[in-house]
Amino acid sequence: MDNFTARTALGRREFLRASALGLMAIGALGSAACGAADPAAGADGPPRAGGRLRAVIAGRSAAVDVLDPHEAGSSAGGAVSKNVWDKLVAYNNDLTLRYRLAEALEPNADGSEWRIRLRPGVVFSDGSPLTARDVLWSFRRMLDPSRSSSGDLSNVDMTRTRADGDLGVVVAMKTPLADFGSVLAGWYCYIVKDGTDIIDGKTLPVGTGPFALARWSPGDRTLLQRNEKYWGGEVFLDEVEVIQIAETEARVNAFLSGEADVVHELSHLQARSLERDPSTTVIVPPSGLMSSFQMRVDTAPFDDPRVREAMRLAVDRQALVDSVYYGYAEIGNDIYGKGAPFYNDRLPQRTYNPQRARELLRAAGKENLTVTLPTADGMPGMVESATLFAEQAKAAGITIRLESVPADTYFTQVSGKAALSHLGWWNYSLDYFYGQTMTSTSPSNGTGWKRPGWDATFAQARAAMDPRRRTELYSALQEELWNEGGYILFGFAKSPDAVKKSVRGVPAGVPGTDDWANYASAWLSA
C-alpha cells in the first residue's frame, strides 16, 4: 500500500495505533455526495462498444469459492451471478421491485398462491427460449436441502406448484405470503436453464444475463464475454474480468497500480483519498449497509439479556461512525433495515451509557467482563470498528480481546459461530432478511435467536395482505429484537466504489440491489 498511504493523511495502521492510544478525535469529514447513474459522464459522445473491464472485488479462497449462483456467498460470486444469470424480479436502491425475467407477479386473495408471468422473447446465451420449465427446475434446485439457497424459497410448496403454459407458473405457498416479490429478489434466486446440474466451471453453463461465462478460476478471477442474445438491450463491453481479492487494502492497491478499472468495497478512508484523485471517480450509493457485531444469545456470557444490553450500551455509535466511516454512514439502532418498508423508526435511539452497562453487568454477576472478538480485514471498517469498540467498552469495565483471523474464510468459518463476531448484511426486505437470519430454522441464524412466539408473529406478518397490519406486526417483531436480540447494530455505512475516468455507465448501486456490480450498461471511453 505504499502508493496509497503516501496520498493519505492517516493510513489504517496509523488509525489502529491511534485507536490503541485512545486518540480517536478524527471526527466526521462531511457528508459524501452520491454518485449519479452515470458517474463519469462527460463529453465523450455516445457509448462506445468494445474492450475489457477489469473489476476487483472481495472474494474467497480457492478452497471455498464456488461458481454456482445457488451456492455462491461472496461479493465476487454475487457479481458473477448477476452478470451471467438473471432473477425474476430484483431490488431497486429503495427496495421497491424491478421486474426482470418476470413481467408480472399476481397473488390470489389471501397470498396462498401466486402466478408468475414470464417476459416473452427471452433466450439463454445458447439461443434456447426461457420457459416455465426453467423456473420450475430452478425452484427445485434452490430448494435442495444441501444448497445454500434452500432457505430462500422455503415457503414454496413444490408439490402443488405447476406450469401454466410456456410463460406462466402458478406457485403454491405452504403458508400465505403477502410479498412474494421481495423473496424472489433475494441473494440466490437466479433462474438457470432446465437440466442444469453441476456448475463448477468445467462445463460452463448458460444464462440470460448480459454476459456469458468464458473462464473461471476459483478464488482468483472469472472472465465473462458479452451475451449477444441478451434480452435487456445493448451490451457495450466485449469482456468483463472479475478479480477476487479478499483484503480491503489489497483491492485498492490493485486498482491504483493499474491492474483494475473498477474497485468495489473500498474502505471509507480510501474513498475519501480517491475523491481527490483526478484520474478516479468515486461512486457513492444513496443508502448504507448494516454494520454490526452479533452476539450468540445461546452462548455464555451472551445468554443473559443483561449482558447483551450492557454490550449495546458500551458502544459510542456516533464516535464510531464518524471515525471509521469518514462521513459515509449514519448511526444504527440495533435493528436491521433502515429505509426498508416496515422498518420501525419509532423505537428510542440507544445511546452510549457505560455507567448503566456497568450496573447491568454487576446485576448479572459479570463485572469486569472479558470477551473475545475475532476480526479480519474482510469488509471495509471491520478491523477499525473492532479496535474502537474495544476502546469504548473499557469505560463499562468490559475487556474486548481482538483476535486476528484470515479474511477469506471469516464469513464461512467465524461469523455467527464465535460467541461474538462481525456481521454485515446487504440491503434486503425484512421478509427476506428475517427468513434467512431470525427464525428458529433460518439457515444463517448467527445469533442463535430461537423464539417460537417470534416465529409465529413473523409468519403472521408475512401473510398480512393489509399493509397497516403488516406494519403493526413488523413493529412488534423489531421491538422484541431491539430489547432482547443479539445484534449490536451501530451503523449503516455506504459502500463506495471507484472507477477510472475512462469507465462510464456504472450505476450507483446499493449492494444487494440490481444496480450494484451490474456491468450491462458500462463502457470504456478509451
Task: Give mean pLDDT, residues 503-507.
Answer: 96
Instruction: For the beta carbon of residue 144, count every other beta carbon within 10 angstroms.
Output: 12
Burial of 489 (0-12, 13-18, 19+ CB in 10 A): buried
Task: Give mean pLDDT, residues 339-366.
Answer: 96
Task: Tell me what pLDDT residue 107 has.
Answer: 97
Specify whether the CB–CB gap between 258 and 482 falls below 8 A: no
β-pair type (239-244, 221-226): antiparallel
Task: Tell me what pLDDT residue 267 has.
Answer: 86
Task: Tell me what pLDDT residue 377 has.
Answer: 86
Task: Give mean pLDDT, residues 297-308.
Answer: 98
Q: pLDDT tier at 223 (50, 70, 90 boundaries)? A: very high
In DSSP terms, which residues pair with 420 in a beta bridge? 295
Per 3-state DSSP, the chain is made up of helix, strand and coil in percentages (nearest 5) of 30, 20, 50
In DSSP terms, which residues pair with 280 in a beta bridge? 500
pLDDT tens across 87-98, in order?
Answer: 999 999 989 999
Report how many helices (DSSP H) and strands (DSSP E) the chain contains, helices first: 15, 23
Per-residue pLDDT at 6 exceeds 50:
no
Query: 507 vs 1, 240, 275, 283, 523, CA distance in Å?
Result: 27, 16, 17, 8, 12
- Go through the domains of the chain in sequence order and give each one's CATH number: 34-61+209-285+497-524 (3.40.190.10), 86-191 (3.90.76.10), 289-493 (3.10.105.10)
pLDDT tens across 247-293, in order?
Answer: 888 999 999 999 999 999 988 999 999 999 999 999 999 999 999 99
Per-residue pLDDT at 3 exceeds 80:
no
Q: What is the percent of the chain where pLDDT is above 70?
A: 92
Query: 237 vs 223, 322, 373, CA distance in Å?
Result: 12, 38, 43
Q: pLDDT tier at 83 (50, 70, 90 boundaries)? A: very high
3-state secondary structure (DSSP) of residue 181? helix
d(CA 343, CA 429): 9
Per-residue pLDDT at 34 exceeds 90:
no
Burial of 135 (0-12, 13-18, 19+ CB in 10 A): buried
Task: Tell me what pLDDT residue 310 has.
Answer: 98
Task: Tell me what pLDDT residue 443 has.
Answer: 85
Higher per-residue confidence, 19 vs 6: 19
Q: Which residues have C-beta within 8 Å of that of residue 12, sequence separation ≥ 6?
A: 249, 267, 269, 383, 384
Per-residue pLDDT at 36 exceeds 60:
no
Q: Among 136, 94, 101, 149, which Cα is nearest to 122's? A: 101
pLDDT tens across 427-476, in order?
Answer: 889 998 999 899 999 889 999 999 999 999 999 999 999 999 999 999 99
Cell of 225: 464475454
Average pLDDT of every residue of the chain: 90
Specify whether the CB–CB gap between 260 and 240 falls below 8 A: no
Per-residue pLDDT at 16 exceeds 50:
no
d(CA 174, CA 235): 40
Specify whether the CB–CB gap between 348 and 479 falls below 8 A: no
Query: Between vectors from CA 489 to CA 485 and to CA 493, what angle results, nearest 5°?
Result: 155
d(CA 62, CA 338): 34
d(CA 103, CA 86): 13
Residue 331's φ and ψ, nearest 5 degrees, are -70, 155
pLDDT tens across 129-155, in order?
Answer: 999 999 999 999 999 998 888 878 989
Residue 8's φ and ψ, nearest 5 degrees, are -120, 155
Task: Tell me what pLDDT residue 447 has.
Answer: 98
Q: Among 33, 40, 98, which Cα is nearest to 507's? A: 40
Cell of 28: 466526521
